Amino acid sequence: MAAKEDFQKLLDGALPFAKRMLLEEGEFIPFGASLTSNAAATLVAGDVGKEHPKSDEVVKLLTSTFATEAANQKIVAAAICFMASTTTSDGAKQEVAVFRMSHVSGETIDIFLPYSFGKSSRAIFKEIFATKGSSNFLTRHLQ
């Protein structure tokens, strides 16, 4: 299956959860989604053994876990989802939910869901955009 189709399955699995958490809680702890060669996306929690873990600790755990699973041919694609800030073209700060995706083929993509909070403190979502991923966390550990 093509990486693009696998990335869409990951997004279809992860996006609703991220949106729900932003709407209900205003935030989320980083989480992942993985995809076997013949299944739908499975959401994955990164339990580092702390009630309030640091985001980078969770991301590091998910990255390592997914790389090992890919090396053992258990998954073909994975996404790591986390909250971040970016700067818009006009220099304004923009909060985003990031879906960093990697495929065993070597393809990568980063998908961004910009959001803000309205007067009622409810998340307001803006148009999703994507860029080529910066590195493949599934295959870089195999080299």
pTM for the model:
0.91
Spell out the domain ranges in the chain: 3-142
State how far the Cα of 97 lies from the Cα of 79, in Å rounded to an integer.
12
* 10 membership: H or E segment, kind and range: helix 3-24
Helix (H) or strand (E) holding 4: helix 3-24
Q: Which of 15, 31, 3 is nearest to 136 (CA)?
A: 3
Q: What share of the chain is helix, strand, coil (3-state, %, to 5)?
A: 30, 35, 35
pLDDT digits (tens, 9 = 90+) for 15-74: 999 999 999 999 999 999 999 988 878 999 987 777 778 899 999 999 999 999 999 999
pLDDT at residue 142, rounded to an integer: 47
